[in-house]
């Protein structure tokens, strides 16, 4: 349950408006199995409240305190990512961006099913840009957000999905920058600069780090026949196509959740069906 009491500091109206927007977004997404379900909302004794279904701990908690940082297998990641992509696809089809996707905002039930939650930063694309920036948690912000873009779209959610996929496979976050500049530098060090420079929104500014144009992502997630004992996590060619498609620095070439779900990787192991 979420509760919000209007403050007397002048910001109460804005907080209540944001709270109402979250309620509206959840109600719009109602019925999808990969998004937490609202149960009731309203006002009582000067407080706004939102009651949701009980699911279980966050994915972050499971990764840290249940698996103790152990990697997920490719099959496990495929099953988890299908649910996450299906939930994001549903939101995007409704004209919504989540804008704060991360393991802390994903819940896990007793059967291992995932549900996206905390739509407090979600945004309707109906009115068009400019959108707020900065937004979301730095570790999951897309390169265009780190560069200050305000006319972004649902591809920012796709990037966050890619970061979570890498995190599930590796058992740790791929980037650790302590500022936007440092974080972007780590991204470009791994993925290279060629991609972002092809983006129509790139203004020619000097980029931090990333001296090489090409990507080293495949080195971090090699195919099985090139893996070393206790080396980096392995990933099939199909799985890497999804990962690298989500982690494109150029948002215009980045996979959407809908495009990712159509990829052969999600059909190879016949993952359990999720309503679209």
Q: How far apart are CA 240 and CA 79, in angstroms?
A: 15
Look up the pTM and report it: 0.92
- 92, 157 in Cβ contact below 8 A? yes
* Number of alpha carbons in the 13 Å side-chain half-sphere of residue 47: 10
Q: Dump pLDDT digits (tens) for 111-152.
A: 999 999 999 999 999 989 999 999 999 999 999 999 999 999
d(CA 140, CA 47): 32
DSSP state of 260: H
CATH 1.10.510.10 fits 59-268, yes or no: yes
Joined together, the tokens standing for residue 228 give: 């070393």
Supply the residues annotated as catalytic. 100
Higher-confidence residue of 92 and 227: namely 92
pLDDT at position 273 is 46
Q: What angle do CA 62, 249, 237 make, to 5 degrees?
A: 65
Average of per-residue pLDDT values in the chain: 91
pLDDT grade, residue 274 (50/70/90)?
A: very low
- pLDDT tens figures, 3-53: 887 665 555 566 677 788 899 999 999 999 999 999 999 888 778 889 999
Q: Give residue limits of the domains in the chain.
A: 2-52, 59-268
pLDDT digits (tens, 9 = 90+) for 73-91: 999 999 999 999 999 999 9
Is pLDDT of 204 > 70?
Answer: yes
Three-class secondary structure of residue 222 per DSSP: coil
Return the pLDDT at 210.
Answer: 66
Q: What is the pLDDT of residues 235-270, one digit of tens each?
A: 999 999 999 999 999 999 999 999 999 999 998 755
Gap between the Cα atoms of 63 and 24, Å rounded: 30
């Amino acid at each position: 349950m979420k509760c919000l009491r209007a403050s007397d500091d002048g910001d109460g109206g804005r907080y209540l408006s944001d709270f109402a927007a979250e309620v509206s977004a959840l109600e719009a997404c109602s019925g999808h199995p990969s998004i937490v379900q609202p149960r009731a909302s309203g006002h009582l004794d000067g407080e706004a409240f939102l009651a949701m279904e009980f699911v279980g701990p966050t994915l972050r908690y499971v990764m840290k305190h249940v698996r103790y940082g152990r990697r997920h297998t490719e099959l496990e990641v495929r099953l988890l990512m299908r649910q996450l992509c299906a939930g994001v696809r549903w939101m995007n089809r409704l004209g919504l961006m989540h804008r704060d996707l991360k393991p802390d905002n994903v819940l896990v039930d007793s059967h291992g099913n995932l549900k996206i939650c905390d739509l407090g930063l979600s945004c309707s694309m109906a009115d068009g840009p400019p959108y707020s920036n900065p937004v979301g948690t730095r570790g999951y912000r897309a390169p265009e957000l780190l560069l200050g873009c305000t006319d972004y779209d649902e591809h920012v959610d796709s990037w966050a999905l890619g970061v979570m996929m890498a995190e599930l496979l590796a058992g740790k976050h791929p980037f650790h920058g302590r500022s936007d500049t440092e974080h972007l530098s780590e991204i470009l060090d791994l993925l290279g600069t060629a991609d972002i420079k092809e983006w129509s929104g790139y203004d020619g500014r000097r980029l931090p780090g990333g001296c090489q144009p090409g990507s080293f992502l495949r080195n971090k997630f090699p195919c099985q026949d090139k893996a070393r004992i206790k080396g980096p996590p392995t990933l099939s060619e199909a799985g890497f196509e999804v990962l690298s498609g989500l982690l494109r620095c150029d948002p215009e070439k980045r996979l959407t959740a809908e495009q990712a779900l159509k990829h052969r990787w999600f059909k190879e192991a016949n993952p359990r069906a999720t309503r679209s």
